A and B are shown apart, each in its own frame.
Chain A
């Protein structure tokens, strides 16, 4: 006797082969979607939001594309998740990880078709991924001790990362920008201290790195436009009406005269506060909150530059560069640390006026000003630069470096192939499949560049049969080339993360034999 209804209405259940099929198809669809963006000749995608304004984004950053998709297939969601994590952890390789996971599943589908149990495939994949990782570890280069070579490594990594993006025209310029910016961080991975300001106009080449700090604010009226040897007080305090914070306090008066008196007292209070601030011996005051007209006037009278409404990150960075502390009370001027800089001036970028702090004490933060023809270009440039910065900051901490251009995949594939030959049992099929999935990445790179991938990959494989080959795909000439001569490098950390997360995700999807989807929660009609 069949059970009529086990689940709630609209909840669905898919079992066994069908469930597996659904997840394979979903995952492969996602992988195919982002596949064409891989490599230096990868294409971009236009994303149009369904929200108000139908804003348009042009990108080839895997994580950005996947983040904006509305997906219903559960397996596809797993892939989107790994791409997001890759973005958060290392910042680059967001497309590769999805493509690799997709390829692993494609191979797995064939194996399942030929009656190999998913658990056997998983066991094989695990052995293969372990072996691949070890193969990479054997071939890494570490130039940590040699500062000059290390810098060259960083430049190469930055250039490799940027070459697949919109910035590839000026990749040397931007690679230098990124390396300079990251070297200033001195090993910290906190990218917040690198500020990126986007200003439309000019060309991408006009972008520059500023050693000082640029604040996207205007200087108040009647205040000095240029200050030398500035003492800066960075504050987070209310400069409008200073509320009394005691609970339940309210003003209750019985005549107009008293209102005027209290108003006077309030003004007096603000004047006192301003006096105290001035008493710190400063000539520049930056506040996170609003500054009303009255105190601003007082500051102008005292010849102090007052900047209001700098955002939270802004003042944090400013505190970081100038070495000042963020103050909220002003009673003990002697113990508050002030920030210093050589020169504050108003500068023009394009049409906008900005405030420029130069000659700062602590060189940890810096600003990159991006110029470009349109907002779309700028947005994409920012994403690309962000990728490069992330990779570089991770590489500074973990300085192991690999060659690029499909070289790591070939090295891994070779090691995995050897393992397959040695392994007895059904697992060896899965291990072989893993190596095929790895080779799919250089194949895709070649395909995207419009090259004969079958021919190239075969040549590459032959090259790699020799010991210690440096061969990879040179997309520019369309032939197999020596990657170390061409200067194409990638960070070990990125490749390792790609390998591990892709295997983990494939394993997770393979283990599923049943999908139960609950009925979607009903939304109230908003109309």
Chain B
């Protein structure tokens, strides 16, 4: 009861309206929180690995998403529980930072929470548990550093990168053509990568999807695709050696920002105004023509008259192009975005070898391809697929693959997948536990157990005997002192992940362990949950 007495003995209430608030304290609060966290991670557990299943999510508006990407599932799940929301945040931050392993991080956090609950029941103070986890996470991260392999790739030899991206894609629905998609992802990252600075700007890769066709038709285009068509139906559909004027001003008479009125009170004024207006249109089109543009791309719309004038002077134009696309076009073609007609000059025009309009299917869908650009730094991945959900899921998968490729360019260390890295860490943590005196030792052992849960889930999802398989692999790792043994999910007959070419990035794995530990620490520290009553 949050009731206190003042110096005169009169009671006063610290926390108002007790009865209409739900409140949990102490061990109950911790247990409830842990249960909520575990429940969220249970949902994701079956999505882990190449044989993981998908989830179907129906949004409040009735739209369907089918995915096995952890971040997407959690984001759309409509979670109400506060701790559940923390887990959602967790996978989101993994998504932002690394882009892959969003499922793994939640599963990891869930199993840490499960282990923590056991320790709490033994009466160990939550803060001590949290500290033990912290120590072990450091051990695990250092160990990962030790077992990480460097691998070499260059602009010409991209095979290792492709292999790593394939590991990421193999757990998605697109694994049917993971080879070609992985190649597309790696090639597009290589196209925009700055290998000297080891940096990749993923904004330069546009992922565009169009329903129809088959997944195998997905292609990489060294250029930009815009979901727009020419403003006038009779403009040419194909332009070679295009010089592109990129405008952010409308083909309309200027609209001054200050409020003003033009009063017409005589016939003469009416006529001058009319002439003025015609001149505006004429000037604008003439200006574009004068600087030698052969294609106008405009962020705004134009008037019918301007449209016809453009058509008339043989100057094809595209209207209503979005800001982001406009920027990409500017980057790709090496042009400058021009905000006013007066500033249009020849050297601000973008250049592209080929601009063409392409029609799809039986409906009126057309898209504009801008190819052979002066600066080929911007690329587009154009996805085709049987239905809208497929396209969306492919987009997410490609995004994951792109992130993995980018991480590898930033840091070319890898660890072995299929649970091999986790098992190896688990062994290392277990061994280190004995060196720590005090209660932390228990927490460190629990951490080692929790690390086992990822390979365990992998084995479960692949239909193997989880305990048997895990113990066999673990024994094999210790016996042969080789950290490459993992769970053989695809039933290929070997446990050696090096042979199976299953890699994951070092930073991705490290991040997973660190993030999961952090969230668990945070949850363990909560001992009082106060939620306002429903009103």
**A interface residues, Cβ below 8 angstroms from B:** 1-3, 5-9, 11, 13, 19, 23, 72, 74-75, 77-78, 81-82, 85, 87-91, 117-119, 126, 188-192, 236-238, 244-254, 258, 261-262, 264-266, 269, 316, 319, 325-329, 331-332, 335-336, 390, 393-394, 500-501, 504-505, 507-508, 511-521
Q: Give the Cβ gap from B410 to chain A, nearest Cβ, in Å.
A: 32
Contact with B385, one of A244, A504, A517 (Cβ below 8 angstroms): A504
Chain B, Cβ-Cβ closest to A22: B56
Kindly state whether residue B60 has any CB partner on chain A within 8 Å: yes
Tell me if A514 and B61 are in contact (CB < 8 A).
no
Contact with B57, one of A5, A91, A516 (Cβ below 8 angstroms): A516
Q: How far is the CA of A497 from the CA of B312 in the complex (A)?
A: 42
Kindly state whether residue B260 has any CB partner on chain A within 8 Å: yes
Chain B, Cβ-Cβ closest to A261: B267
Q: A118-B53, A514-B46 are in contact. Are A264 and B267 (CB under 8 A)?
A: yes
Chain A, Cβ-Cβ closest to B66: A508
Contact with A328, one of B176, B252, B305, B390 (Cβ below 8 angstroms): B305
Contact with B66, one of A246, A328, A512, A517 (Cβ below 8 angstroms): A512
- Mostly, the A contact residues are mixed
The interface residues of chain A lying within 8 Å CB-to-CB of B79 are 6-8
Tell me if A189 and B359 are in contact (CB < 8 A).
yes
Tell me if B309 and A516 are in contact (CB < 8 A).
no
Q: Give the Cβ gap from B269 to chain A, nearest Cβ, in Å.
A: 9
Given contacts A23-B56, A511-B66, 5 further A-B contacts (CB under 8 A): A7-B80, A117-B463, A247-B253, A266-B270, A269-B271
The interface residues of chain B lying within 8 Å CB-to-CB of A238 are 304
Q: How far is the CA of A248 from the CA of B463 in the complex (A)?
A: 73
Q: A247-B253, A326-B232, A336-B312 are in contact. Are A258 and B211 (CB under 8 A)?
A: no
Contact with A191, one of B80, B176, B264, B362 (Cβ below 8 angstroms): B362
Tell me if A515 and B58 are in contact (CB < 8 A).
yes
Tell me if B58 and A78 are in contact (CB < 8 A).
no
Q: Which of B34-42, B178-186, B318-326, B397-405 contacts A (4 or more CB under 8 A)?
A: B34-42
Chain B 240-278 per-residue mask, 1 if CB under 8 angstroms from chain A, else 0 = 000000000000111110011111111100110110111
Tell me if B362 and A91 are in contact (CB < 8 A).
yes
Q: Give the Cβ gap from B210 to chain A, nearest Cβ, in Å.
A: 10
The interface residues of chain A lying within 8 Å CB-to-CB of B252 are 245
Tell me if A500 and B76 are in contact (CB < 8 A).
no
The interface residues of chain A lying within 8 Å CB-to-CB of B281 are 329
Q: Give the Cβ gap from B450 to chain A, nearest Cβ, in Å.
A: 19
Per CB-CB distance, the 7 closest pairs between chain A and chain B, nearest first, are A328-B308, A513-B53, A521-B60, A511-B54, A501-B386, A89-B212, A504-B386
Tell me if A250 and B271 are in contact (CB < 8 A).
no
The interface residues of chain A lying within 8 Å CB-to-CB of B78 are 7-8, 11, 516, 518-519
Q: A2-B35, A75-B56 are in contact. Are A8 and B80 (CB under 8 A)?
A: yes
The interface residues of chain A lying within 8 Å CB-to-CB of B387 are 78, 81-82, 85, 501, 504-505, 508
Chain B 62-79 per-residue mask, 1 if CB under 8 angstroms from chain A, else 0 = 101010100001001111
Tell me if B303 and A512 are in contact (CB < 8 A).
no
Contact with A512, one of B54, B80, B259, B278 (Cβ below 8 angstroms): B54
Kindly state whether residue B364 has any CB partner on chain A within 8 Å: yes
Q: Give the Cβ gap from A407 to chain B, nearest Cβ, in Å.
A: 23
Tell me if B55 and A329 are in contact (CB < 8 A).
no
Kindly state whether residue B213 has any CB partner on chain A within 8 Å: yes
Tell me if A516 and B55 are in contact (CB < 8 A).
yes
16 example contacts (A-B, Cβ-Cβ < 8 A) are as follows: A7-B81, A72-B62, A78-B66, A81-B389, A190-B359, A237-B304, A246-B273, A249-B264, A261-B266, A265-B270, A327-B308, A329-B281, A512-B53, A513-B54, A515-B56, A518-B76
The interface residues of chain B lying within 8 Å CB-to-CB of A87 are 362
Tell me if B308 and A246 are in contact (CB < 8 A).
no
The interface residues of chain A lying within 8 Å CB-to-CB of B266 are 258, 261-262
Kindly state whether residue B311 has any CB partner on chain A within 8 Å: yes
Q: How far is the CA of A331 from the CA of B285 in the complex (A)?
A: 14
Tell me if A512 and B56 are in contact (CB < 8 A).
yes
Q: How far is the CA of A179 from the CA of B390 in the complex (A)?
A: 34
Chain B 206-222 per-residue mask, 1 if CB under 8 angstroms from chain A, else 0 = 00000111110000000
Tell me if A332 and B274 are in contact (CB < 8 A).
no
Tell me if A249 and B262 are in contact (CB < 8 A).
yes
Tell me if A500 and B214 are in contact (CB < 8 A).
yes
Chain A, Cβ-Cβ closest to B211: A85
Kindly state whether residue B351 has any CB partner on chain A within 8 Å: no
Tell me if A520 and B60 are in contact (CB < 8 A).
yes
Chain A, Cβ-Cβ closest to B462: A119
Q: A7-B80, A393-B362 are in contact. Are A253 and B53 (CB under 8 A)?
A: no
The interface residues of chain B lying within 8 Å CB-to-CB of A269 are 271, 274
Q: Give the Cβ gap from A17 to chain B, nearest Cβ, in Å.
A: 12
Q: How far is the CA of A117 from the CA of B460 in the complex (A)?
A: 12
The interface residues of chain B lying within 8 Å CB-to-CB of A8 are 78-80
Chain B, Cβ-Cβ closest to A316: B233
Q: How far is the CA of A335 from the CA of B314 in the complex (A)?
A: 11
Q: A74-B58, A191-B362 are in contact. Are A3 and B232 (CB under 8 A)?
A: no
The interface residues of chain B lying within 8 Å CB-to-CB of A3 are 32, 35-36, 39, 81
Q: A6-B40, A250-B262 are in contact. Are A328 and B267 (CB under 8 A)?
A: no
Tell me if A236 and B308 are in contact (CB < 8 A).
yes
Tell me if A511 and B173 are in contact (CB < 8 A).
yes
Interface centre among A6, A23, A90, A117 (most CB of B within 10 A): A6
Q: Give the Cβ gap from A378 to chain B, nearest Cβ, in Å.
A: 20
Tell me if B213 and A329 are in contact (CB < 8 A).
no
Q: A3-B36, A247-B254, A328-B307 are in contact. Are A253 and B265 (CB under 8 A)?
A: yes
Kindly state whether residue B31 has any CB partner on chain A within 8 Å: yes
Q: Give the Cβ gap from A83 to chain B, nearest Cβ, in Å.
A: 9
The interface residues of chain B lying within 8 Å CB-to-CB of A511 are 53-54, 66, 68, 173
Tell me if A394 and B362 are in contact (CB < 8 A).
yes
Q: How far is the CA of A248 from the CA of B264 in the complex (A)?
A: 10
Tell me if A248 and B232 are in contact (CB < 8 A).
no
Q: A117-B463, A244-B273, A514-B46 are in contact. Are A262 and B264 (CB under 8 A)?
A: yes
Interface centre among B39, B64, B271, B359 (most CB of A within 10 A): B64
The interface residues of chain B lying within 8 Å CB-to-CB of A261 are 266-267
Q: How far is the CA of A253 from the CA of B263 in the complex (A)?
A: 9
Chain B, Cβ-Cβ closest to A249: B262
Kindly state whether residue B356 has any CB partner on chain A within 8 Å: no
Contact with B277, one of A245, A512, A521 (Cβ below 8 angstroms): A245
Tell me if A88 and B361 are in contact (CB < 8 A).
yes
Chain B 287-328 per-residue mask, 1 if CB under 8 angstroms from chain A, else 0 = 000000000000000011101110110000000000000000
Chain B, Cβ-Cβ closest to A251: B264
Kindly state whether residue B84 has any CB partner on chain A within 8 Å: yes
Q: Give the Cβ gap from A13 to chain B, nearest Cβ, in Å.
A: 8
The interface residues of chain A lying within 8 Å CB-to-CB of B213 are 89
Q: Give the Cβ gap from B279 to chain A, nearest Cβ, in Å.
A: 11
Tell me if A245 and B303 are in contact (CB < 8 A).
yes
Kindly state whether residue B43 has any CB partner on chain A within 8 Å: yes
Tell me if A516 and B56 are in contact (CB < 8 A).
yes
Kindly state whether residue B92 has any CB partner on chain A within 8 Å: no
Contact with A326, one of B57, B234, B263 (Cβ below 8 angstroms): B234
Tell me if A252 and B264 are in contact (CB < 8 A).
yes
Q: Give the Cβ gap from B424 to chain A, nearest Cβ, in Å.
A: 27
Tell me if A248 and B261 are in contact (CB < 8 A).
yes
The interface residues of chain A lying within 8 Å CB-to-CB of B43 are 13, 514, 516
Kindly state whether residue B363 has any CB partner on chain A within 8 Å: yes
Chain B, Cβ-Cβ closest to A126: B176
Q: Give the Cβ gap from B320 to chain A, nearest Cβ, in Å.
A: 16
The interface residues of chain B lying within 8 Å CB-to-CB of A500 are 214, 386
Kindly state whether residue B59 has any CB partner on chain A within 8 Å: yes
Q: How far is the CA of A6 from the CA of B78 in the complex (A)?
A: 9
Q: How far is the CA of A74 from the CA of B277 in the complex (A)?
A: 55
Q: A248-B260, A500-B386 are in contact. Are A7 and B77 (CB under 8 A)?
A: yes
Interface centre among A236, A237, A504, A521 (most CB of B within 10 A): A504
Kindly state whether residue B388 has any CB partner on chain A within 8 Å: yes
Q: How far is the CA of A329 from the CA of B386 in the complex (A)?
A: 45
Q: How far is the CA of A3 from the CA of B34 in the complex (A)?
A: 9
